[in-house]
Chains A and B, each alone.
Chain A
Amino acid sequence: MGTAAGPVHAAGKARDVRTILVVEDEVLVRLMVAEQLRSADFHVVEAANADEALAVLRYTTDVALIVTDIRMPGSMDGLQLAKTVRSAFPQIRIVLTSGNLLKFSSVNHDAFVPKPYEPDKIIGLIRTLLN
């Protein structure tokens, strides 16, 4: 935990556990992905939209990777969030997800995972990106 003036660490996190930020507006999908990642021994922070994700990133220093849906309501979608994160937090890995096969630049993300998720594949992909 940081000081009142500085960034803080995500609560409840062991030092050697990597933190994944899951950004997904469909609560049952978010719940499923978060639980699968926790079962794989990741520390998971859940955000319901891009605004919540940015609030977390501004005040925690621990996030190593973001898994974000592309189509989300709110001030920005997943592509805009990825662009913002890549610019402001270039050390954070970015995995985009969608139920639709979309064409987009690879500049602002490290990988794309189609929905529905296959747990073993996304966990393996995240481990590869973080190594």
Chain B
Amino acid sequence: MTIAADPSNKETILVVEDDILVRMPIAHYLRDCGYKVIEAANADEATTVLLHQETRIDIVFSDIEMPGSIDGFGLAKWVRDHRPGLDVILAGTVSRAVDAAKDLCDEGPVPKPYESQVVYDRIRRLLAARNRAT
């Protein structure tokens, strides 16, 4: 597997979230903030990416409750054991995930005047729309 190196040298965030309607806007928000974002749908995908030596990861941004062999806490322990020194941000709720994304954006290379409430409202509308359909 060959993945081209990112010539822009952007910091890379691995977003781990099993709900596509949360993962999608968080990932796009962080990209808009200037980061390169890699998306993983569960911890197993995340460990696959983290074991791929050619893929640079600077921060792991993970949900806590996820299906699969390990949850977010398990992933954080795995990172500590296999990639010591790599920062892990765990977000247990959508609102905490949005706040964490906002914090990252504030420190990002291309900060924009985003409000965390805007992202949170966007995710909330997506989830509300989905819940009405089920």
B38 near A: Cβ within 8 Å?
A: yes
Given contacts A11-B29, A29-B1, A31-B3, contact A4 B49 (CB under 8 A): no
> Using a Cβ–Cβ cut-off of 8 Å, how many residues does chain A contribute to the interface with B?
31
| Pair B4/A28 contact, Cβ less than 8 Å | no
Instruction: Spell out A's residues near B (CB within 8 Å).
Output: 1-5, 7-8, 10-13, 27-32, 34-36, 39, 45-49, 52, 55-56, 58-59
How many B residues, CB 8 Å from partner?
32
Q: Which of B114-134 contact A (CB under 8 A)?
A: 119, 122, 125-126, 128-130, 133
B25 within 8 A of A: yes
- Contact B28–A11 (Cβ < 8 Å): yes
The CA-CA distance from A58 to B32 in the complex, in Å, is 23
CB distance from B117 to the nearest CB of A (A): 13
Complex alpha-carbon distance, A46 and B49, angstroms: 15
15 CB < 8 A contacts A-B: A2-B125, A7-B129, A12-B28, A27-B45, A28-B48, A28-B52, A28-B55, A31-B55, A32-B2, A32-B3, A35-B4, A39-B4, A48-B41, A56-B24, A58-B129
Minimum CB distance partner of B45 in chain A: A27
Alpha-carbon separation in the docked complex, A55 to B134 (Å): 11
Asked if A32 meets B1 with Cβ closer than 8 Å, knowing A47-B20, A58-B133, the reply is yes
Instruction: Please indicate the chain A residues that have their CB under 8 angstroms from the CB of B32 in the complex.
Output: 12
